[in-house]
């Protein structure tokens, strides 16, 4: 496993990789969710590249960029046994040198949900992912269902910009109580941690109602809201029941749909989702 910082070293090392290349973009502080993406890439591709970069441009001015957890040594130890070929860990100056002024934007898919609350977030995501695609030139790229809107936005960008890259969306890895794994779970202090289990409980309650025949999207959103309301530490930002592909809010659930939410648990912002199909 080779760890690389500069773009020229990355390009040189990329040239030496054999066969199909899988890319797993991450912001580091790896957990089992990230490792599941890496294992899947390793199964499907001859070579695997992992990027670790806390991308400043996807954080808003009042968000957690400066306190986002970072521990490269720990990350490298977790990846070593998985057979990762290259780890790219650039500095912000390498990715965004002085005078940088080019951005990639996906339009309507980035407006609702996360985009409504974090207005510049997806512009940062699509720009860094484009730069990663250009630098690594992977055959396949691996993303998590945990960030469902991000996955939809990147899929749209791949189509619109004709990247010759196959995108794989991997299932959400969860803790024993259902909490979706996230580097940000580190922030959950004391009673906030057990309280956070309510997110998946709420989504699961609505999913059970769907399995029982409920197709009214408002009723499904209400089930999520009402379950979340039983936990006083939780403040809801949004609960959505939307078309899986367009992310437009639904009246009636017909095709594949996405039930998603964003909440604050104490001072920690968490997102989660399940699909209905
Ligand atoms: P991040 O480091 O949080 O930017 O995540 C890097 C990639 O891992 C993204 O594609 C995420 O969607 C994915 N990911 C994060 N958490 C999970 C999880 N619990 N299960 C599966 N994939 C995840």
Put the strands of the sheet holding 268-276 in their side by side order.
234-243, 257-265, 268-276
* Structural domain harbouring 260: 183-276
pTM over 0.85: yes
Residue 178 falls within a domain, yes or no?
no
Identify whether residues 163 and 266 lie together within a single domain.
Answer: no
Identify whether residues 102 and 223 lie together within a single domain.
Answer: no
Residue 246 DSSP label: T
Of the candidates 18, 31, 34, 245, the residue annotated as catalytic is: 34
Q: Is 139 a catalytic residue?
A: no
Q: Note the pLDDT of residue 2.
A: 98
**Domain of 198: which CATH number?**
3.30.1300.10
Give the C-alpha separation, 228 to 235, whole Å.
Answer: 8
Nearest CA among 259, 204, 268 for reference residue 234: 268
pLDDT bracket for residue 9 (50, 70, 90): very high
Q: Note the pLDDT of residue 86.
A: 98
Identify whether residues 193 and 164 lie together within a single domain.
Answer: no
Going by alpha carbons, the residue nearest to atom 12 of ligand 1 is: 144
Per-residue pLDDT tens digits for 55-104? 999 999 999 999 999 999 999 999 999 999 999 999 999 999 999 999 99
Q: List the structure tokens of 19.
A: 């066969």
Q: Of the residues 170, 193, 210, which one is the last residue of a structural domain?
A: 170
User: If DSSP codes are grouped into helix, strand and coil, which group holds residue 30?
Assistant: coil
How many structural domains are present in the chain? 2
Q: Note the pLDDT of residue 182.
A: 98
Per-residue pLDDT tens digits for 238-262? 999 999 999 999 999 999 999 999 9
Residue 175 falls within a domain, yes or no?
no
Average pLDDT over the chain reads 98
Ligand 1 pocket check for 154: Cβ under 6 Å: no
Give the C-alpha separation, 270 to 21, whole Å.
Answer: 32
Cα of 182 vs centre of ligand 1, distance in Å, is 7
Q: Note the pLDDT of residue 107.
A: 98
Ligand 1 atom, smallest distance to 143 CA: 10
């Amino acid at each position: 496993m080779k760890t690389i910082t500069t773009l020229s070293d990355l390009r040189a090392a990329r040239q030496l990789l054999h066969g199909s290349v899988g890319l797993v973009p991450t912001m580091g502080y790896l957990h089992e969710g990230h490792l599941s993406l890496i294992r899947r890439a390793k199964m499907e591709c001859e070579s695997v590249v992992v990027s670790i970069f806390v991308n400043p441009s996807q954080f808003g001015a009042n968000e957690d960029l400066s306190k986002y957890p970072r521990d490269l040594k720990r990350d490298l130890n977790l990846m070593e046994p998985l057979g990762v070929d290259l780890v790219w860990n650039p500095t912000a100056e390498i990715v965004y040198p002085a005078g940088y002024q080019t951005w990639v934007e996906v339009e309507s898919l980035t407006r609702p949900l996360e985009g409504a609350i974090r207005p510049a977030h997806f512009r940062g995501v699509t720009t860094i992912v484009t730069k990663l695609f250009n630098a690594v030139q992977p055959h396949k790229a691996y993303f998590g269902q945990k960030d469902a809107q991000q996955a939809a936005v990147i899929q749209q960008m791949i189509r619109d910009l004709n990247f010759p890259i196959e995108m794989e969306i991997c299932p959400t890895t969860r803790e024993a109580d259902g909490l979706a794994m996230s580097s940000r779970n580190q922030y959950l202090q004391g009673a906030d941690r057990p309280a956070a289990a309510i997110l998946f409980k709420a989504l699961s309650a609505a999913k059970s109602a769907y399995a029982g025949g409920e197709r009214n999207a408002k009723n499904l959103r209400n089930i999520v809201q009402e379950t979340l309301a039983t936990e006083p530490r939780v403040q809801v930002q949004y609960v959505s029941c939307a078309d899986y592909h367009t992310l437009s809010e639904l009246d009636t659930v017909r095709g594949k749909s996405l039930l998603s939410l964003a909440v604050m648990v104490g001072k920690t912002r968490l997102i989660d989702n399940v699909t209905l199909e």
